[in-house]
A and B are shown apart, each in its own frame.
Chain A
Amino acid sequence: LAKTTQPISMDSYEGQEVNITCSHNNIATNDYITWYQQFPSQGPRFIIQGYKTKVTNEVASLFIPADRKSSTLSLPRVSLSDTAVYYCLVVVGNYGQNFVFGPGTRLSVLP
């Protein structure tokens, strides 16, 4: 089963770019990597998903190196409302029968 690791916490200031890295060993060739955001007392919310290289949407970018042993979520110009816990999710297996959430990174954005 793939195991993921993330930094426990990070601090940033408003307007800065934040990069959060997730390490995932033993990820299979066909796995997608997905990132979620969670606010207190709410369910996780999808941010971005990728398979390789770089993916960008309106809120974030996701960088995945060629060896796919890690992925980096990049949040440009964070604001106070980006304070949350961020999880990476790795799916293992062709039928997605194993979902491995990372332990989560608590991001605190300071004014």
Chain B
Amino acid sequence: NAGVTQTPKFQVLKTGQSMTLQCAQDMNHNSMYWYRQDPGMGLRLIYYSASEGTTDKGEVPNGYNVSRLNKREFSLRLESAAPSQTSVYFCASSSDRTQETQYFGPGTRLLVL
């Protein structure tokens, strides 16, 4: 059981470039989430998916798009990266949204120059 996996671990982009962060979970969870964590800060929710086929905006969705490809996979796309999107991105999953015991991946460190 790998839990929640994220790729890549680290990425450097130039302003205006695009990229997709991948996330997969093998726990058969219904709900998946994307957060960003800026240095010395807490986590802020970007998007979430309550179940396969649905996605909703979180606190800071601007500049991002997501795709819930299937029950296992939830990707985050930056269409035109900006320096303000330099952050660590965490994917998480949970079986029951109401209970909200979330299991987090190891994170992707993104640097936008």
Question: Complex: how many Å from CA A91 to CA B31?
Answer: 14
- Residues from chain B with Cβ under 8 Å of A46 in the complex: 101-103
- Residues from chain B with Cβ under 8 Å of A49 in the complex: 99-101
Output the residue of B43, B50, B106 with the most chain A CB within 10 A.
Answer: B43
Question: Complex: how many Å from CA A53 to CA B10?
Answer: 42
- Residues from chain B with Cβ under 8 Å of A41 in the complex: 106-107
Identify the closest chain B residue to A90 (Cβ): B100
Identify the closest chain A residue to B92 (Cβ): A43
The 4 A-B pairs with the shortest beta carbon distances in the complex, nearest first, are A43-B104, A96-B97, A101-B42, A101-B43
The size bracket of the interface on A is 20 to 34
Size of B's binding interface in residues, CB under 8 A: 25
Q: Is the CB of A91 within 8 A of B100?
A: yes
In the assembled complex, the CB of B1 is this many whole angstroms from the nearest CB of chain A, namely 15
- Residues from chain B with Cβ under 8 Å of A32 in the complex: 98-100
A81 within 8 A of B: no
Identify the closest chain B residue to A31 (Cβ): B100
A-contact bits for B28-64, CB 8 A (1 contact / 0 none): 0000010000000111110010100000101100000
Looking at the complex, which one of B45, B100, B107 makes contact with A43 (CB distance below 8 Å)?
B107
Q: Is the CB of B107 within 8 A of A42?
A: yes
Question: Complex: how many Å from CA A46 to CA B96?
Answer: 14
- Residues from chain A with Cβ under 8 Å of B90 in the complex: 43-44
Chain B residues 66-113 with CB under 8 Å of chain A are 90, 92, 97-107
Question: Complex: how many Å from CA A87 to CA B35?
Answer: 14
Q: List 17 A-B contacts (CB under 8 A).
A: A32-B100, A36-B102, A43-B90, A43-B105, A44-B43, A46-B102, A49-B99, A87-B43, A91-B98, A96-B50, A96-B98, A99-B33, A99-B45, A99-B58, A99-B100, A101-B42, A103-B42
